[in-house]
Structure 1
């Protein structure tokens, strides 16, 4: 380029092959259409000093921006400053080696001057300066400059890596460096949201009124309910001990009178039926523990910093024991759940606790029902352990340890608990992550009443004490590049580019329909179907060919009952069928729980969305089996109702299988054969056939697939952290679960502030108006899809299907 300068001025050479220049920062940039450079210029101008200076590197080559968004074509970013009255940029100075006090301003011309002579009297410096600023600003905005980072808002200005050896003039008007900044915070895996450092979350000392409102314990974990279950365990223990003692002192219990009589039902079917009904009740208690434990981990005692990420909220203690409690710092609860899992063996043991014995020393020789001593005392020990486990649950989940207002079992409950939380920024871009739990940092969270340093309102929720309140803003003024664990590159480049990886992922059907449990993937479902059909065919063929079951078969084991009531043949053909039936029953429970838990998302994924009652308030995993069937039929969730019905129906398989066979002596042949009770065995064949064919309908449809799992609070919050639902005025100051349901589905009386402060009356009136508007549209629909979040950007998650003045949510991705 050409340099027009004074004849006396000269450039001093530097230790490089190419010349360098030092530019002073423009403190007045009215050319850009947004406030990025004008805000920065005002900050630098306020720190200007005569005895300081700063320099910059030569801007790197231009990197194209993926997408340029221009709000006004007339005043676009590439429009030169030609408007009347616009403040012109400061001239670009080049410092020369000259005596102190002398300074010469040199114009830097573009390469066009080589093709044509400069226009007399026209200064091209503003245009060249603007071009340089645009080159620099384009890379700053995309976050892909030479260092791929932005300086912190108050950080010192960057200095060049190689300094020219100029004798700089001390009178050159250069800005002074900003004051030192505090040490930088450690890098986060996701870009932090806009925060207000002045406003922090402050815990509220509990008064009598506030303390009285807390302490909610879910119904299955309340002391009277656990006491009733404990009492039933004591009855089982008493019945077993009585039968053991009576059979040992009175030559067994009762005479054997056939395999189709009521007495046969009492001794061969009733014990395991009672045992498996207790197991169903135990499943409800376990589900309450799972969904409540994370919030108990945020109480006033020892807190778990990984409560959101690592603690399951869906039961998983079925076919295999759940050992995650030991990893989460709950060893006693882990032992308790291990006892609960071992309790599953009580059903096949109850199936063989009563057997027939040949009695010859008490009157005429005959068969009598007796109690197997070893099996009976084993059952007593298991029920004693179960009682201790129940006592620990009553102690661990007592009222004084709870800071809950109601049972948190639905998506609406999460919205109320986290709508004012200060940890929402931790979840940024986790909605598309296959493992969101691993991207959330540990937090010392507290559940209770809070206020903030700038607002007197008291609210209930989850948050980190004395931590900044982080709120999402629509237009970030000072974007920062954060070095995180994002595979696609710089985060800010993604946020400012429509074609970024994050934007592509939330629109991608592959990401949207990526996850389902391993046992419900296509290959596994196909394997279950084939195995179930082959099993039932083999079972029916073996049972009815040549009347093998009806006429009896040789046991191939000793059938003689010893003095303790134990018979190897009777034990094997009672315990083994009941055990296999129990495996079938427990194998269906995770399938049932998955369809219950995913049903709200299935309803939300419909093109027309779903009402709050069928989505946000739906809590099938927290219900018992009978209630799930009734509620699902009312809500027309027929698939959930059928799968839960099969879950109840399958409990009959171990009951019937454990009591179907018994050893019978045939005097005509002088041999013992295993004979089935045909009424019970025919019922067993029907139930097994229905169970096997039910695997044909467990194939999840497309709407039941999700981007990632839903077994933790963090996984669910990844679809709620940016949702405008967290900012709805109608959902603030909710005091009870009934009030929440009526707010979302119907009219409700006026809401009151917790403090009763008159300053909040206007907010209360606005809240009541919002509730009335929400109640006026009782059919308001919600959806799971792509929406515009509170930060003004697209997100994947849950929101209203359509908000006033905005477009409808994109529920089904259009890309293929």
Structure 2
């Protein structure tokens, strides 16, 4: 026996192992082919109907009128109306060719019905006949929505706004009457003489109430912005890509959201964002200025009464804003009469992937692996999309689309996570931190806060708004950051901090061991507390040093500590908390920009289209076949049963070509921004690195 020949027993063992491996591979291939055939299976229910051109296009929109004697490339309005009526009459999905059709031609629909996702994922021929699809009305359209978007919650917000407006006006009227009688809502000679309950009710309770009310509005606003694209897709004829798949309100600057929503006539977002901006940002600032203490600081004497009163102009501004917020709430309730078309919370990447397996919507994303959002919109703007039976479908095809793309930067990072924004943001917080002791302990500058009592609260509100924007970007990027690190667990695909209650977010992130998300989310909570603290330190701080309070009443110094609006303890607690919170925000902001300001994504996230462009050729799509009706918890269990891990990088797609996106491990290589996988592979071949090749 040759030394290089294995023993017979060993040879038999190897043969059995090879046979078992071949059987396993054959079984996997068969299962792969079976699941592959199910992708796009919902398209088999489409019926092609012959509709002739009865007239030239009519009405406004994307249907263009052609010169006499030339065929129209788009289907006519009348033809679309007839197709929609046919779909509703028969209960079938109706396909209409985009070019004029000979009614004598056979419409068996076999060619369309037999298209597989694998074949149709290749580059489409520009001369291929495009089709428009029309859907029957779903008599049992689901309408899942979170608690904070339900009418009871919004009605509660509306009622609270009206109640607070009435209370504010009542206190204002009472204060006016008491002032006429030489009295006030409360009075004291020394702030220390007030009980803890009386002092807290006057100094802290009002702004705490308004800050908490603003948080309730933020909870609703975030969900409205997140789910508005699904509401648009659930309309009878669906929505254009710019109104749905390419729409991003979450990473957009909050104060500009109403303008973008107005452009697209998405009224729920308009009312929600306006109500939130006024309720959470403007009202607390105005309220901090509406409570005053008479007489003014420069006219106070020790041992004399000080009166807590309401300043009518500022108070009326608060009441007017609250009435406006109530109007926004009522309008939002009216706008939310629509149905969402959702069975459950569409959480994370998995929620979008599950909706895209029954139709051929993914064919529209060919060649968009590394494309910026502007290019994606340009490729999708000729198609309407619709959410039907919990799945995303292609709708009407519009060749002559006039829809303008949104303004998007080619930078893949959200604006607030770019280093230039980070330097400016951190510098602003540092300057604000330095300004607090300057305005508090330096007498010449205290005149500014006396004349403009909303200054410090307004500056703190800007910190809160910008921090919340950064917080939103960090928590939305978290699943993609985990995927970029490779070997991500299955639950990453259903991870969705965008739809998490902001009050519970720090705890949930800690439980998931996502430390940075937890730290930034906790910073958002502290930013709300900061607004309360800085509204209470508008006093002469030099009088609160030990021995400098002017305890001898006979001096009659109007700047004595006892003539101030704070107690010794409350002043130092408010000031210390303000400084500590700002130092925390500075340190966490620096940490965030150190860990998240680099480019690890091919494009900005926040839209459904951005996710679909990263999964349209993924093999992991086979896992999501027939899962569009699973809840988020059921989806997580379903994925964990597969025992697979996932990654963001270069992978071999179902068309046997290299693609960039999200797929199950093993993938070919990690993604590095600006680096082409093909270029790196060729470089590796030239220098002899076989493993890279």
Q: Does the TM-score normalized on the shorter chain lie above 0.5?
A: yes
RMSD: 3.6
User: What is the CA deviation profile of residues 524-558 of structure 1, one whole-angstrom value per residue up to 9, with x for unaligned ones?
Assistant: 43444455445535645x378xxx36xx778547x
Q: Are 1:299 and 2:299 an aligned pair?
A: no
Query: SS at the partner of 1:401?
Result: coil
Q: Are 1:634 and 2:511 an aligned pair?
A: yes
Deviation for aligned residue 1:703 = 7.2
Deviation for aligned residue 1:196 = 11
Aligned residues of 1:787 and 1:795 also touching (Cα < 8 A): yes
2: CA distance, partners of 1:728 / 1:636: 26
2: CA distance, partners of 1:639 / 1:554: 37
Match of 2:455 among 571, 576, 586: 576
Alignment of 1:724-763 (within 5 A): 724-728=619-623, 731-732=626-627, 734-745=629-640
Query: SS at the partner of 1:444?
Result: strand
Corresponding residue for residue 596 of structure 1: 475
2: CA distance, partners of 1:418 / 1:275: 42
Identify which range, 440-449 or 318-327, moves more after superposition.
318-327
Query: SS at the partner of 2:452?
Result: helix
Q: Do the aligned partners of residues 347 and 317 (structure 1) sit closer, same or farther apart at CA in structure 2, a change above 3 Å counting?
A: farther
User: What is the CA deviation profile of residues 244-286 of structure 1, one whole-angstrom value per residue up to 9, with x for unaligned ones?
Assistant: 1221223321113545653333222222222122222222211
Corresponding residue for residue 461 of structure 1: 391
Q: Do the aligned partners of residues 334 and 638 (structure 1) sit closer, same or farther apart at CA in structure 2, a change above 3 Å counting?
A: same
Query: SS at the partner of 2:495?
Result: coil
Corresponding residue for residue 286 of structure 2: 349
Corresponding residue for residue 681 of structure 1: 575
Deviation for aligned residue 1:598 = 0.4
Deviation for aligned residue 1:415 = 0.9
Match of 1:691 among 580, 585, 588: 585
Q: Are 1:266 and 2:206 an aligned pair?
A: no
Corresponding residue for residue 668 of structure 1: 555
Identify which range, 708-717 or 685-694, moves more after superposition.
685-694
Corresponding residue for residue 366 of structure 1: 305
Task: Please list every run of 5 or more consecutive structure 1 residues that lacks an aligned counterpart in the other structure.
Answer: 1-180, 185-189, 450-459, 469-512, 558-568, 746-774, 803-807
Alignment of 1:687-726 (within 5 A): 687-699=581-593, 700-701=595-596, 705-726=600-621
Alignment of 1:424-435 (within 5 A): 424-435=362-373
Q: Are 1:311 and 2:235 an aligned pair?
A: no
Corresponding residue for residue 390 of structure 1: 329
1: CA distance, partners of 2:262 / 2:624: 41
2: CA distance, partners of 1:182 / 1:239: 65
2: CA distance, partners of 1:716 / 1:332: 24
Query: SS at the partner of 1:464?
Result: strand
Match of 2:650 among 778, 782, 786: 786
Deviation for aligned residue 1:640 = 0.5
2: CA distance, partners of 1:596 / 1:419: 27
2: CA distance, partners of 1:317 / 1:525: 15
Deviation for aligned residue 1:373 = 1.1
Corresponding residue for residue 174 of structure 2: 246
Q: Do the aligned partners of residues 265 and 315 (structure 1) sit closer, same or farther apart at CA in structure 2, a change above 3 Å counting?
A: farther
Corresponding residue for residue 213 of structure 2: 278
Corresponding residue for residue 415 of structure 2: 518
Q: Are 1:585 and 2:481 an aligned pair?
A: no
1: CA distance, partners of 2:555 / 2:143: 70
Corresponding residue for residue 23 of structure 1: none
Query: SS at the partner of 1:626?
Result: coil
Q: Are 1:441 and 2:319 an aligned pair?
A: no
Aligned residues of 1:578 and 1:654 also touching (Cα < 8 A): yes
Task: Please list every run of 5 or more consecutive structure 2 residues that lacks an aligned counterpart in the other structure.
Answer: 1-97, 102-121, 399-409, 544-549, 684-693
Aligned residues of 1:443 and 1:464 also touching (Cα < 8 A): yes
Deviation for aligned residue 1:628 = 1.4
Deviation for aligned residue 1:429 = 1.8
The structure in which a higher percent of residues are helix is 2
Deviation for aligned residue 1:231 = 2.9
Deviation for aligned residue 1:694 = 2.5
1: CA distance, partners of 2:256 / 2:128: 47
Deviation for aligned residue 1:658 = 1.1
Deviation for aligned residue 1:690 = 2.0
Aligned residues of 1:787 and 1:797 also touching (Cα < 8 A): yes
Q: Do the aligned partners of residues 653 and 257 (structure 1) sit closer, same or farther apart at CA in structure 2, a change above 3 Å counting?
A: farther
Q: Do the aligned partners of residues 298 and 257 (structure 1) sit closer, same or farther apart at CA in structure 2, a change above 3 Å counting?
A: farther
2: CA distance, partners of 1:731 / 1:633: 33
Q: Do the aligned partners of residues 532 and 378 (structure 1) sit closer, same or farther apart at CA in structure 2, a change above 3 Å counting?
A: closer
User: What is the CA deviation profile of residues 94-125 of structure 1, one whole-angstrom value per residue up to 9, with x for unaligned ones?
Assistant: xxxxxxxxxxxxxxxxxxxxxxxxxxxxxxxx
* Structure-1-length-normalised TM-score: 0.57
Aligned residues of 2:184 and 2:307 also touching (Cα < 8 A): yes
* Structure-2-length-normalised TM-score: 0.67
Q: Do the aligned partners of residues 667 and 389 (structure 1) sit closer, same or farther apart at CA in structure 2, a change above 3 Å counting?
A: farther
Corresponding residue for residue 610 of structure 1: 488
1: CA distance, partners of 2:501 / 2:276: 17
Q: Do the aligned partners of residues 313 and 334 (structure 1) sit closer, same or farther apart at CA in structure 2, a change above 3 Å counting?
A: closer
Match of 2:151 among 218, 223, 227: 223
Deviation for aligned residue 1:653 = 1.7
Q: Do the aligned partners of residues 302 and 350 (structure 1) sit closer, same or farther apart at CA in structure 2, a change above 3 Å counting?
A: farther
Corresponding residue for residue 86 of structure 2: none
Corresponding residue for residue 57 of structure 1: none
Aligned residues of 1:353 and 1:375 also touching (Cα < 8 A): yes
Alignment of 1:70-85 (within 5 A): none
Deviation for aligned residue 1:792 = 2.1
1: CA distance, partners of 2:245 / 2:628: 27
Q: Do the aligned partners of residues 554 and 299 (structure 1) sit closer, same or farther apart at CA in structure 2, a change above 3 Å counting?
A: closer
